[in-house]
Structure 1
Amino acid sequence: MKSFSMRLGLILALSIATLVFLLTITLTYMTSQRSAASLEAEIGERLSMTSHQLVDKLDFYMWSRYQEVQLLQGLDALNDPASSRALLDQVQTNIPAFSWMGVTDASGNVVASTNGILEGASIKERPVFLEAQTEPFIGDVHEAVLLAELLPNPSGEVLQFVDISVPLVRDGTFQGVLATHLSWEWGNEVLRHFNRTLHHQSEYTDLFVVSGRDNTVLLGPDHLVGKPLPTSLKEGWHVDTWQDGTSYLTGVATGEGYEDYAGLGWSVVVRQPTEVAFAPVIELENSILWIGLIASLVTSTLGWFLASIVTRPLQRITETAALMKQGKAKTFPHQSGIHEIESLAFALESLVSSLTESETERVHYESLANRDVLTGLANRTALRHYLNEAQATKNEYVCFYIDLDGFKAVNDTYGHATGDDVLIEIAERLKRVTLDGAYPVRLSGDEFFLLFERNGKSERLITQIGQDLITSLSEPIAIEGGMTSVGASIGASLWQTETVPHAAIERADQALYRSKANGKHQITLDETLIA
């Protein structure tokens, strides 16, 4: 009888321990998978957004230079070689990115140029002249040919240019071409700036600028420049195994030009080794696994003791039965069922408590995946969910795309810790916005987004709201050792929920670029908000 009672206790203990272990591991796995997938998507979208930001900056820079060349095209000073030379030298002094600028006659002979370089030489066989006789020409990155030995080159590296040229027409007659060579060093500088920002987060991040003509790497790691990109270009983010055998999280964006600049089809590729990019995911999964194992161990131990409590009254009964057989006992001891029921209820309560804690942790991790860690504002993932839900309301919303003015100077002057404090304070001010349906979001870096219901607000009122918000965000901010401040520029658009939201966000982003181009610290309304 004793061996039977011991066997029964062992069976009960193992059964409870196994059940608790399986339930805990199952819930842990489900929580880990859901949280990890959400976090992976956020990391991938952040990498894709970085590539979009860089390709936008490249296109905007080229558009700016293109506009400047078009502006020069109509000046009367280009009719006279001496005046032309003085004008071109002045432009080059103010915009050093123009390595060389020249004016040709109708036959392709250079009649005036910066510093007199190539004056009297013929460029009639060069694309910068041939392609610009009837319409403006923008050429892709190429190595210097005629200017290789004539321009200063302290670094000794191969000189590369982007050509911008326009025809010069007077009274309907072709007079020649205004030709410019834009130093590709500006592209290197933009790339270095982004690399510094990304390497602050992870030194294992690589950036590439790829030609849309032949998939050649124009900018990037030295050993790949001038060679075809060793992977396919798919818009968005994805995981690829490159030729070096390493698996990378890759974000790709292709430039679509800016305003009347059609673009050269450059693509920007950002990559990180997956073990670096998804390190937070692995850390999250390991944390959840350990929590699950500890919970399993605790509840399994509790189950063992519970089995002992359940079998002890049975053991006493069997021992009493043996004594009764020997005549040494006449009655069974009183056994109340209340204690066993209470013990079972306690075990079930402990089990439910353990499982509930794991579920609470899952909800907590999902909340982290939808919140910006620094400011506590909603992030891009949360914004996407919010916009999907808002489409069912059939309302009209105003989109504010906000970019801080002068934030880089704060970072450079006081350090990134103070910069983080400034971002936190800006977020707090956005949280205090009392507009109907106000939904503030931190997109990335010093870019924020505010969505609120239009509710019949006029163009004038929306403009006033934006100006008031700029004033609020521009108020001084207390920092360690004194005060500082940043400005803000806003682009605004209208989103009608029967349309896709990303189009409205893009329009707001374009309006923001116009605010920046027009001097910053202002709001620009997209045509959808202008009556």
Structure 2
Amino acid sequence: MTITLLLGGIAVVRGASVGWEAEGLLRQEVGRSLGETAKGLAERLDADMRARTARAAILGSLEALQDPRSAQRLVDEILTRDPSTAWVGVTDAQGTVVAASGGILVGQSVAQRPVFQRAQDGMFVGDVHDAVLLAKLLPNPSGEPMKFVDVSVPLKGPTGKTVGVLAFHYSWSWARDVVGALLDMVRNRTGTEVLVMAVNGTALLGPDGTMGKPLVFDGLEAVRARGDGWEVARWPDGREYLLGFSRGAAGQDVSDLGWTVIVRQPVEHAFAPAQEMRLHILLSGFVFAGIFGALGWLAAGWIARPLRLIATEAERMRAGEPGAAIPEITRGAKEIGTLSRALRELVTSLTASKAALARMEDIAYQDRLTALPNRRFFEQYLDVALSRARAEMGHVAALYIDLDGFKPVNDRLGHDAGDEVLRQVGVRLASSLRGDDVVARIGGDEFAAILVSSGCSGLANLDEVTARIIAAVNEVVVVQGQPVRVGCSIGVALWPLDGPDLSSVLKHADEALYEAKRRGKNQAVSYASMAASPLPESD
């Protein structure tokens, strides 16, 4: 009975302490990871909005928009090239629409609408709102309420006087597409949801039943005050969630929007690994306690002395004394020797379980600087990508991407500036690929991407993809008020054309990357092109 109670007590203490430690580690790690994910989503939304306002400003400077016929051709072309544009139109100085996509609202006055009035003094960016004039005029296959984000700029005549307005209504559905694409990085987290909260506290994006309604939960004021971080909060549904949040719209043109991105996960899902481990420890401890307690009771008279030795050492272990260990009994009854060895194995198992829980702290699949997947995620994803390609009889493209001219940025402006360049490059790489492609930061200024195609021709546009990546990375980055420009070299290899497995394909992609550096940098080189036309060896 004494042995049973002793072992049961050890199992309870070890199980409870290990479980609490694991919950603490998971709370910190998952909370930080959700916060970084929210920040990445907020930066992506902000980057998209800044790109739209910049495009509107450039288009607003075109003199062709002041001619109704030319303006009509231009707005039709804009609608064709940007699916997220629900409506774009040009007005005259009095607010009458003179050209519009699809001819919608041409001849009608929008003089009383904010998109016209607020653009008289400069660029106007309007928050998410319901459709008013266009609700019944635009196609709406989903049947859901249509919501727009407005951007408008004044059209200036030769004298600088406002002669009209160029107005865009962007469909808010593009935000859902952005969120859906970046959430692939956290799809392994059960129950993870994303909400976008407006400045007034209403939900602009979220689970069913939340859109358009005020978001009220414990910790709301802390979220608004801190801007970026993570919290544990209780929501009106009675459940506790781990929240990662980030307030975006730090840029000049979109600073009035102030959207807050919230990524939440139920606490019971976030802490499930720790709870399962604690239960496993408790159950295994009680099983062993019952077995060896019965053996101890049957042989109590004969094995009293060695059992007292075992009990003494167990008590020392429970007290945390250094050097304490269950002794291995080699003399006397065979059962005593078995008991001592089993107890040593039990303690070893419990210790290994604690070590395994400690390693859970290191299992984070996201690069904290760029919010992209990290090397560990990338390496684990390779098997998934290969299985998918085999199932779909497709191909896998492996891209190694290394920045050109990055070291001088660090040397001249410092590591903080270098970190900002890496963050922006990460956003551009993610924006340049499809939603189901994976791009990861694998260390320093090195990135890697995996693209999976279906069928025989899914990667026919790979040259376009690499050209798009190079063009995106080459765009100017403003850091500390200074324009900075970096480039990138890309090595490309294909499975199964360039290797029987992804390990050899990645090796060949790395070789192609070095060849791209050798050929002058800021270009993409495929492994197949190296084999077809190798450069002569230098003397």
**If the TM-score is normalised by the length of the shorter chain, which range does it land in?**
0.5 to 0.7
Q: How much does 1:519 deviate? A: 1.9
CA contact under 8 A between 2:203 and 2:214: conserved in structure 1?
yes
Q: Could you tell me which amino acid in structure 2 is paired with residue 128 of structure 1?
A: V
- Closer, same or farther: CA 26–230 of 1 in aligned 2, 3 Å: same
Aligned equivalents of 1:277, 1:500: Cα separation in 2: 37
- Asked if 1 retains the 8 angstrom alpha-carbon contact of 2:31 and 2:230, the reply is yes
1:362-401 alignment runs, 5 A limit: 362-371=354-363, 379=365
> What is the aligned partner in structure 1 of residue 47 from structure 2?
60
Secondary structure in 1 aligned to 2:137? Answer: coil
Deviations 1:300-335 (A, max 9, x none): 45654674334599xxxxxxxxxxxxxxxxxxxxxx
Question: What does residue range 24-173 of structure 1 map to in structure 2 within 5 Å?
Answer: 24-171=11-158, 172-173=160-161
Matching of residues 247-266 of structure 1 within 5 Å: 247-257=240-250, 261-262=254-255, 264-266=257-259
CA RMSD of aligned residues (A): 4.5
Name the CA shift for 1:110/1:44 in 2 (closer, same or farther; >3 Å). same
Residue in structure 1 matched with residue 167 of structure 2 by the alignment: 179
> Which of the numbers 350, 353, 366 marks the counterpart of 1:361?
353
Deviation at residue 182 of structure 1 after TM alignment: 1.1
Distance 1:305 1:367, change over 3 A: farther
Query: 2:90·2:165 contact (CA, 8 Å) conserved in 1?
Result: yes
Query: What letter matches 1:486 in structure 2?
Result: A
Amino acid at match of 1:508: L
- Cα 1:479–1:504 change in 2 (3 A) is farther
Judged with a 3 Å threshold, the aligned counterparts in structure 2 of structure 1 residues 311 and 121 are, in CA distance, closer, same or farther, namely closer
Q: 1:503 to 1:44 in 2, by over 3 A?
A: farther
Q: Which structure 2 residues correspond to residues 338-357 of structure 1 after superposition, within 5 A?
A: 351=343, 354-357=346-349
Cα pair distance change 1:187/1:403, threshold 3 Å: same
Structure 1 residues 24 and 272: alpha-carbon distance in aligned structure 2, compared to 1, 3 A threshold: closer
User: Within the alignment, does 1:421 sit opposite 2:383 as a pair?
Assistant: yes
Q: CA deviation at 1:215?
A: 0.8
- 1:289 counterpart letter in structure 2: L
Instruction: Tell whether 2:497 aligns with 1:509.
Output: no
After TM superposition, the structure 1 = structure 2 runs for residues 278-293 of structure 1, keeping only pairs within 5 Å, are: 278-293=271-286
Kept in 2, the 8 Å contact 1:490–1:523? The answer is no
Asked if the contact 2:245/2:260 (under 8 Å) is kept, the reply is yes
Distance, in Å, in 2 between the alignment partners of 1:226 and 1:347 is 65
Aligned counterpart, 1:457: none
Once the two structures are superposed, what CA deviation does each residue of 1:179-227 show, in whole Å capped at 9, x if it has no partner?
Answer: 111122323444555678867754x443322112x11111223422211
1:486 aligns with 2:473: no
Change in 2 beyond 3 A, CA 1:521/1:287: farther
Cα pair distance change 1:141/1:491, threshold 3 Å: farther
Distance, in Å, in 1 between the alignment partners of 2:38 and 2:470 is 26
Equivalent position SS for 2:86: strand
Give the deviation of 1:229 after TM superposition. Answer: 0.9
1:69 Cα deviation after fit? 1.0
Structure 2 CA distance for aligned equivalents of residues 28 and 501 of structure 1: 43
- Displacement of 1:129: 1.4
Aligned mates of 1:89, 1:530 — CA distance in 2 = 34
Structure 2: give runs of 5+ residues left out of the alignment.
307-329, 433-466, 487-539
Contact 2:331 2:337 in 1 (8 A): no
Count of equivalent residues: 408
1:510 Cα deviation after fit: 1.2
1:520 aligns with 2:507: no
* Residue 276 of structure 1, CA deviation: 3.3
Alpha-carbon shift at residue 340 of structure 1 (Å): 7.2
> Greater shift after overlay, 225-234 or 519-528?
519-528
Residue 521 of structure 2 corresponds to which residue in structure 1?
Answer: none
Shift of 1:400: 8.4
Q: Secondary structure at the match of 2:207?
A: coil
Match of 1:180, SS?
A: strand
Q: Secondary structure at the match of 1:132?
A: helix
Instruction: Give the match's secondary structure for 2:249.
Output: coil
Aligned pairs (5 A) from 1:214-233: 214-231=200-217, 232=220
8 A Cα contact 1:489 1:512, kept in partner? no
TM-score by length of 1: 0.64
CA deviation after TM superposition for structure 1 residue 131, in Å: 1.3
Change (3 A) 1:295 1:130: same
Q: Distance in 1 between matches of 2:397 and 2:196?
A: 34
Distance 2:133 2:371 in 1: 45
Deviations along 1:432-471, one digit per CA (max 9) or x if unpaired, are xxxxxxxxxxxxxxxxxxxxxxxxxxxxxxxxxxxxxxxx
Q: 1:216 to 1:481 in 2, by over 3 A?
A: closer
SS in 2 for 1:252: strand
Letter of the 2:397 partner, please give it. S
**Alignment partner of 1:486: what SS?**
strand
Distance 1:339 1:200 in 2: 52
Tell me how far 1:165 sits from its aligned partner.
0.6
State the distance in 2 between where 1:205 and 1:514 align.
Answer: 24
Counterpart amino acid of residue 370 in structure 1: D
Residue 312 (structure 2) aligns with: none
Bigger radius of gyration:
1
Partner-residue secondary structure (3-state), 1:230: coil
Q: Distance in 2 between matches of 1:487 and 1:521?
A: 12
Q: Distance in 2 between matches of 1:185 and 1:59?
A: 15
- When residues 501 and 347 of structure 1 are mapped into structure 2, their CA distance, relative to the original with a 3 A threshold, is farther
Q: How far is the alpha carbon of 1:501 from its aligned partner?
A: 8.8
Change (3 A) 1:359 1:521: farther
Asked if the contact 2:370/2:427 (under 8 Å) is kept, the reply is no
Separation of aligned partners in 2, 1:222 and 1:479: 33
Contact 1:400 1:491 in 2 (8 A): no
**Kept after mapping to 2: 8 A contact 1:490/1:512:** no
Partner of 1:438: none
Q: Deviations over 1:103-146 (max 9, x none)?
A: 22233232322233223332222111121112211000112222
Whether the 8 Å CA contact 1:24–1:292 is kept in 2: the answer is yes
Distance 1:58 1:489, change over 3 A: farther
- Give the drift of 1:342: 12
For the residue of structure 1 that corresponds to 2:119, the secondary structure is: coil
Whether the 8 Å CA contact 1:63–1:261 is kept in 2: the answer is yes
Contact preservation (8 Å) 1:24, 1:355: no
Structure 1 pair 522/35, CA: closer, same or farther in 2 (3 Å)?
Answer: farther
